[in-house]
Amino acid sequence: MTQPITLAALEQLIRARDASFPAPLQAAYQDDRRKFLEVAARTLMPRTIIGYNLFLPIDIWLLPKTAGLTLALHLAVVTPFMIYAALLIRRESRPEIRDAVLAFVPILITLQIMLIFRLNTGQNAWCYQYLAILVMVYTNISQILGFRFALFASAGTMLLYLAAVLTSAAPEPVKIISCALMLSTGYLSLESKAALERGNRNQFLRRLRERLQRYEAEDVASRDALTGLSNRRHLDERIETIWAAKNPAQKIAFVMIDIDHFKLFNDEYGHPAGDHCLKRVAGAISSVLRGQDDLAVRFGGEEFVLLLPDTNVETAIQIAERVRRAIESLAIPHAHSPTGHCVTASLGVAAGTAAEDSAALIIAADEALYAAKRNGRNQVHPPFMALEAKPAKVRRSAG
């Protein structure tokens, strides 16, 4: 099972800066970046196509000898591939495939530039080959690529450039200056790319930290400080959410729970023992919950309430009986309890649908609770046996 990311772990990663992400966090980072990268890449590729072809008149003017081949490479090879890459970006959700295709764009442009350069001689050709250095800048500064793919594209561009220049007939000073410019541009632009990626990852960690801090604050605000159960504010929010869904057929059940003779317990054992008792009872109640949809709430003092969505009265009574037994099985001593020698609880159940008023259902559950108290405590009302005897008449009975 994947461990959740904690605030302490995030703080450590933020301080480390260059630390690699654990697999779950890396997946979250990729998902966080995906939409941004898709939008950026979609806008960047059309601009790249336009910008690339704006150099076509310069190519033809500088090197008219290969004007036909330049035109063919621009319009029949490189531009169609960039159009294909742009279309792929729109439908490909996997970032690895998208980045791999995008990484070949600068390599292909460099290949076109260096091919035309090698087919020409003279000063115009020596000037023309410097355009490949702009491609390196574009690869690492403008193009939206992960660092690994940017490194791959840069290496391919650099190798093509160096091989073409060093094996050309250009003068030695041109070769030296050209290679120095390409190597320094590649290094500096890759450094900028790495710094940008580190910044993006750090920003992601900080946004995630703020989100977790907000969630923790909201969680604290919605929980009872003593027992850790939800508080009445959270109960009101859940009720509002369920009733706002406007599904009148949805079944809803409430279970009111009250610890029997709790005042006597506090008087005998003291308030610290009373707080400890409340915590243990809250743990017993939580142990019966079926999942995240069930909500256990400290209603006030020694009273608790269960909100059970999609639950009919029969199931709610069964759950309430399990809660009663779980509390009794704690065997917390209660020497002066008229009900027994350990802590027990009385429970009242009411069920209905979202078409009914939630406050009325809570009142009905509270009335059922008092019926359980009148009938001797340490029991659920209505009892399941009575429900089997009169299923049509028991739903919000107060006894």
- Mapped onto helix, strand or coil, the DSSP state of residue 288 is coil
Instruction: Identify the DSSP state of 5.
Output: P
Place of tokens 């800066």: 17
For residue 392, give every residue at least 6 positions away whose Cβ sits within 8 Å of its Cβ, in sequence order, or none: none
- Sheet containing 345-353, strands listed edge to edge, beginning at the edge strand earlier in sequence: 295-300, 303-309, 251-259, 345-353, 380-381
Q: Which of 139, 124, 121 is nearest to 52 (CA)?
A: 139
As a residue count, the chain comes to 399
d(CA 55, CA 128): 11
Nearest CA to 355 out of 245, 255, 237, 233 is that of 245
| 8-to-4, 13, 29, 65, 223 alpha-carbon distances in Å | 11, 9, 18, 65, 22
Residues with active-site annotation? 302
